[in-house]
Amino acid sequence: MKPPKTIPDYIRTIPDYPHAGILFRDVTPLCADAQGFRLAVDQLTLPFTGQKIDKVIGPEARGFLLGGAVAHQLSAGFAALRKQGKLPPPVIAQNYALEYGEATVELSEHAILPGDQVLLVDDLIATGGTAEAAVALVERLGGTVVAAAFIVDLPVLGGRKRLEALGVKVHALVAYEGL
């Protein structure tokens, strides 16, 4: 009998996408498989069951599908961290640097209430720029990002350490050494 599939079995690695030199870690096959998706959502949620989490914040686009599922499991609300220009006002904005480029993300001023305990959920942490921008926006609205959960961590890019330095506990299901 074949052993059950684990998270890394479902992740594809695509060299030189979207730019030369980038090894793109693709969680699309994981999310497309019923058992894989359940495994991922369950493992992302597990450390936080029973904790006071008011909201999950998920960055566009893959953080929406994972964060929404985790929020449902935790009976929490969901706050969408969107790329610039996608949300109606009033919004607050934050610039950040990516592994391959630069961007601005926005959050609705109504998405987080003062005192909210927030869990960040995304598919992957690389430089931590996206996650750090999310933390800054949540704090500007009076909430606190207490923890963050990712399917993939790329430790060489330093994102995990950056988040931990901000007091955010980091939970990742798979780490890939090197780029």
Ligand X SMILES: Nc1ncnc2[nH]cnc12
Ligand Y SMILES: O=P(O)(O)OC[C@H]1O[C@H](OP(=O)(O)OP(=O)(O)O)[C@H](O)[C@@H]1O
With CB under 5 to 8 Å by kind, the binding choice for 145 among ligand Y, ligand X, none is: none
Q: CB-side exposure of 73: number of CA atoms within 13 Å?
A: 22
Secondary structure (3-state) at 25: strand
As a whole number of angstroms, the distance between CA 34 and CA 31 comes to: 7
Q: How far is the CB of 86 from ligand X (least distance, A)?
A: 19
Which residues ranging from 97 to 116 are in contact with ligand X (CB under 6 A)? 99
Q: Which of 25, 62, 160, 162 is catalytic?
A: 62
With CB under 5 to 8 Å by kind, the binding choice for 62 among ligand X, ligand Y, none is: ligand Y
As a whole number of angstroms, the distance between CA 93 and CA 83 comes to: 9
Q: Which of 12, 25, 99, 109 is catalytic?
A: 99
Look up 82 and say whether it is catalytic. no
Convert 119-145 to b/e letters by CB count within 10 Å (16 or more is b): bbbbbbbbbbbbbbbbbbbbeebebeb
Complex with ligand X: residue 40 or 126, whichever CB lies closer: 126
Q: How far is the CB of 115 from ligand Y (least distance, A)?
A: 26
Which residues ranging from 48 to 107 are in contact with ligand Y (CB under 6 A)? 59-63, 98-99
Look up 109 and say whether it is catalytic. no
Structure tokens at 113: 């209430």
23 binds ligand X per the rule CB under 6 A: yes
With CB under 5 to 8 Å by kind, the binding choice for 45 among ligand X, ligand Y, none is: none
124 binds ligand Y per the rule CB under 6 A: yes
As a whole number of angstroms, the distance between CA 47 and CA 152 comes to: 16
The CA R_g of the chain, rounded to the nearest whole Å, is 16
Residues that bind ligand X in the complex, under the rule CB under 6 A: 22-25, 99, 124, 126
